[in-house]
Each structure stands twice: as C-alpha cells, then as structure tokens.
Structure 1
Amino acid sequence: MLLEQALYHVTIEVENPQCKSLELISKLGINNCRLIDVRRLPGGSVKHLISFPLNEVDKVSGEKLKILSRSKGSNILASFETDGCNVCNSILSKGAFLISGKHLEGYKIIYEFIVPGHEVFKEIISTLESLGFKPKILSLYKHEPKEGFLTEKQENVLWLALKMGYFDYPRKVNTKELAKALGIVPSTFSEILRGGIRKLLEKYFESKTLTNKDF
C-alpha cells in the first residue's frame, strides 16, 4: 500500500522523442500546441492533455481527440489516450504515480511523479538510462509527516491528494483513481480525507477564535 511506504516527490527533465503527444502534434501540424499533463488511467492506458489555439481546431477533425473545453478567443483543451511511451511506462511500471508531464521545447519534457521509496526512484532512473535516455534530476524530496493533530494516514492522503491534483479545478484525478493508486477502496479514502479536512478546519477556526481581539 502506497500509504505505508516512504513517499518521494521527484521532478526530472528528459529529452523524449518517443512522446505520443509530441508525435501527434507533429503529425497534425498544430501550431502553438502545449502538452499540459500526462496521466495513467485505471485501465492501463495513458491520458495526454493538450492545449492549442482555437483556429487550429480544424486540423484535429477525424482524430481521436476529446475536446474538453472551447471558447471564442481562447485555447482548445483536449485529451487523447495512448498505450504510453518508454518514459511514461518506465515510471509507472515501478509503482510510481505520474503527477504531470509538461513540454518545454523540442523534445524536452519535465515529468513529476511520486515514488514509494528511494530504491524505486533509483530503479526508474536506472531503467531510463538503460533505454538510452539521459534523465536530469531537477528535484527529489521525501515527504516527512509532521507530528501534530493529523494522523500519519490523514496527512499522507491529504498530501498525495494535493500533489496529484485532487483539489485542482478541474480535477486531475478523481476519488476512484486516487484510491486505487493508494491501494485502498474509495470509501476508505473518503473517510480518511474527510477526517483530515475536518481536523484542519477545526484547528483553523479554533485558532481564529483564540486570536480574535474584537470581543
């Protein structure tokens, strides 16, 4: 279970000419298109989120793209699914959870992911190197639960939910997907999450009451 292991947040930069989204962008000739996010879906496929100008939308007709949003004068937000590339699959096959993949320039992409243990991190880097990639480690830090009013499980669930985009709008991961990544059932995830949020709110408003100088 992910919650019972030491969790590390990793950010690496990789030159990845195999990226499926960059391949599609090049094939369609879409200008000013950006890779925003990469996610593993529960069924095993990889979901790519891309953004491109509204006037480029005709280039994607007939493609298996799901248009998520469009409005006059703004960009199109769309997603599509693939079986992933060697970089994504190397990260995900080791039990890591991919938070995001963001395109920089050329074939350079920054990947953020969470790994259950330092050994898993080393295995991922070693695997990428053996495949001919040259991952540049931008950051690596271990999540250390703070001693306080939250239980360790509550803090880990809240930290992971925050990192994985559960509180983003729109959400990058839903309850079922996050619970599966954590190795727990959705009802257990919801119970731990609600308990942790309740304690945070109680602590926040208790603090506000104690420091209120208006009475």
Structure 2
Amino acid sequence: MKNNLREISLVADHPKCMILNKLMEINVQARIFELNAGIDTTNHLIGINDYKNNIPKLKDDSITIYKNIKDKTWMESSSCEVCTAAAKLNALIINVKVFHDGKVQYKMLFQKQEILKLLKEQLDSTDIKYSISDIDQKIPNELTLRQKEILYIAFRMGYFDITRKIKLEDIANEVGISKKSVQITLRRALNKIVLEYVFENL
C-alpha cells in the first residue's frame, strides 16, 4: 500500500464555531450531516429539530443560511480552529458529533503520518482545549479502513467531480492495487453509504 490512511477522533472543547454557538445559545437540537471545511469559511449541512419554528432564530450577521433540503440546511460561517487546521493540512472531516456540554467530536482522515504532528501544532497555537485518539477498531456496518482510503483518494483526486478529473486506473496506481480491486472496493463503500442514507433519510 502506497498510502497509509490514518483515522483519528478529535474532541474539542467549545470550538469557536458561530453556528454551533448560536444553536447552543437558542437551545436548539441539531445534527451535522456534512461539513466542508475551509481555511476562512466552512459550510455545514445541518438537520434542525422543528425546522420551521427554529430556523428564524438562527438568523445572524455571522451566519449565511441557504435553501433547505428536506429539513436539512446548508449554513456557512467563519471557520473554527479545527476546521481551519483541517483545511490547511488537507485532512478530511468525515463525521461531526456535538455534545450537550459544548464539546464537539470530529472524525478525520489523512494520509501522511506527519499531518498529526502538524495538526497538533496548529491547534496548540490557539487557545482551544482538545484531545486526540486513534481509531483502529472495525465497527460493524461501517466502512472498512481500505474502503475509506479508496473513497478519500477518489474524492481528493477529483473522481466525484462533475467533470471527472481521474479514472479508476489513476486511483489504482496511487494506492498500488489493481483497477478491478479499486472498482469493487469503491462499489462496496458507496453501497454502504447509499443504504445508510436511504434507511435514515427516505
């Protein structure tokens, strides 16, 4: 394997996220389904309880609210310490969980081992309190590490772009396995993702 993918869990204590802070301020329960981290701004796909009544409470000069899709809404705000660091280091945030005490868990994927050291340096330059742990166990019904690796590389290299930038052969060469193995792994991973979405959202 040419790329040793690493998955970590980072728990941050009250990150400076305008959206999460606003949700806590108005005491609205919400779930983050997707997060596109940027150095300056970050987009959050958020599901909000009692959407029609609570969405007006979220209006704020620091938050941009886009059109909702089945009670989920894209919201944009300035990036917190974690999202800024992740974007700078090209780490992929694959899951976000918000706790009632203000702590937020981020699951991240990255390829180069030295990224973890750089991530810590980035966060240590801020005043945020955080903890990091490796995720090495295989959880039933979740993607395997190899499936995550293939998805990560495919995403980063532009395989899922509207105008596809790479072919399966390019992913195979990057990972060091056959085109057929990439195709099978990618199909199985996407099948799991689609099944989870269908059963949870449709």
**TM-score bracket for this pair, using the shorter chain length:** 0.5 to 0.7
- Map of 2:20 onto structure 1: 22
SS of corresponding position for 2:28: coil
SS of corresponding position for 1:51: strand
Q: Quote how far apart the aligned CAs of 1:21 are.
A: 1.8
Q: Determine if the alignment matches structure 1 residue 33 to structure 2 residue 30.
A: yes
Aligned in 2, Cα 1:8/1:31: closer, same or farther, shift over 3 Å? same
Inter-partner Cα distance in structure 2 for 1:22 and 1:163: 26
SS of corresponding position for 1:123: helix
SS of corresponding position for 2:73: strand
After superposition, residues 59-98 of structure 1 pair within 5 angstroms as 59-60=57-58, 64-70=64-70, 76-98=71-93
SS of corresponding position for 1:35: strand
Q: Determine if the alignment matches structure 1 residue 188 to structure 2 residue 166.
A: yes
Fraction of identical pairs, as percent: 17
Deviation string, structure 1 residues 148-196 (Cα, Å, up to 9, x no partner)? xxxxxxx96x4335569xxxxxxxxxx7x543499xx834245548844
SS of corresponding position for 2:166: helix
Q: Number of residue pairs matched?
A: 166
SS of corresponding position for 1:88: helix
Out of 110, 113, 116, the residue aligned to residue 118 of structure 1 is: 113
* Cα contact 1:16–1:109 (8 A) shared by 2: yes
Out of 131, 137, 150, the residue aligned to residue 126 of structure 2 is: 131
Inter-partner Cα distance in structure 2 for 1:163 and 1:105: 30
Q: Give the structure-2-normalised TM-score.
A: 0.63
Q: Quote how far apart the aligned CAs of 1:37 are.
A: 3.3
- Gapped regions of structure 1 (runs ≥ 5): 71-75, 143-154, 165-174, 202-215
Amino acid at match of 2:88: S
Aligned in 2, Cα 1:25/1:199: closer, same or farther, shift over 3 Å? closer
Task: Name the Cα RMSD after superposition.
Answer: 3.8
Inter-partner Cα distance in structure 1 for 2:158 and 2:97: 24
Deviation string, structure 1 residues 79-100 (Cα, Å, up to 9, x no partner)? 1123311221112212222223
Larger Rg: 1
Aligned in 2, Cα 1:109/1:36: closer, same or farther, shift over 3 Å? farther
Q: Quote how far apart the aligned CAs of 1:121 are.
A: 0.6
Q: Quote how far apart the aligned CAs of 1:14 are.
A: 0.8
